[in-house]
Copies of this chain bind each other. A is one copy, B any other.
């Protein structure tokens, strides 16, 4: 199997960090998204949305979407659990994972795409919307600060996929000038803790 990815992009980092936590080695194939290599007919046959990362199995079956790739490996290698073992754990982790994705990672991504024009060859940037997306992302930092004042990790007592998503989103947010504020002490403590994991270098 192999994973098509772009080393510097935030979503592939989520997959690498997830696999590092589980001790799984996979071959990676680099795709230059700035040059649009992900939009070729060959890549669209693997993922009709033309995005990376994509996991390609040895029989040619492709699984795109970061969360779906992680879901596949969580089922194959359940230990250590990063998506929950009981129904309650699975539900709570899935909620935080989804909210971090939609209210933070996606907002940072939209801010980046719509304010920088990085992909203007393939989409219509709307800077006013990009600015709103950046404001949304900043607001979610406040929600995380409150959450991390009562739990050590985002989904509760244990490290989970939601922490991986949040770390990668927060690191990516620096590109659009959004950073943890001095008064967000719980978020800073969590950030320093999660950043120090060996998997964060993956």
Contact A67 B94 (CB under 8 A): yes
Contact A72 B90 (CB under 8 A): yes
Give residues 100-156 of A contacting B (CB, 8 Å). 102-103, 106, 114, 123-124, 126, 128-129, 132, 143, 146-147
Query: How many interface residues does A have (CB within 8 Å)?
Result: 40
How many copies, total?
A: 2
Whether a CB of chain B sits under 8 angstroms from the CB of A161 is: no
Question: Which residues of B are found within 8 Å of A126, using beta-carbon distances?
Answer: 126, 128-129, 132
Question: Which residues of B are found within 8 Å of A64, using beta-carbon distances?
Answer: 95, 99
Question: What is the chain B residue whose CB lies nearest that of A69?
Answer: B91
Residue of A49, A57, A69, A76 with highest tally of chain B CB at under 10 A = A49
Bound Cα distance from A166 to B98, whole angstroms: 18
Contact B68 A98 (CB under 8 A): yes
Question: Which residues of B are found within 8 Å of A128, using beta-carbon distances?
Answer: 126, 128-129
Contact B143 A49 (CB under 8 A): yes
Give A157 Cβ to nearest chain B Cβ, in Å: 14
Contact B103 A75 (CB under 8 A): no
Q: Which of B75, B114, B146 contacts A87 (CB 8 A)?
A: B75
Whether a CB of chain B sits under 8 angstroms from the CB of A92 is: yes
Contact B63 A75 (CB under 8 A): no
Bound Cα distance from A61 to B143, whole angstroms: 18
Give A27 Cβ to nearest chain B Cβ, in Å: 18
Contact B76 A87 (CB under 8 A): yes
Bound Cα distance from A132 to B61, whole angstroms: 31
Whether a CB of chain B sits under 8 angstroms from the CB of A36 is: no
A interface residue numbers (CB < 8 A to B): 48-49, 55, 57, 61, 63-65, 67-69, 71-73, 75-76, 86-88, 90-92, 94-95, 97-99, 102-103, 106, 114, 123-124, 126, 128-129, 132, 143, 146-147
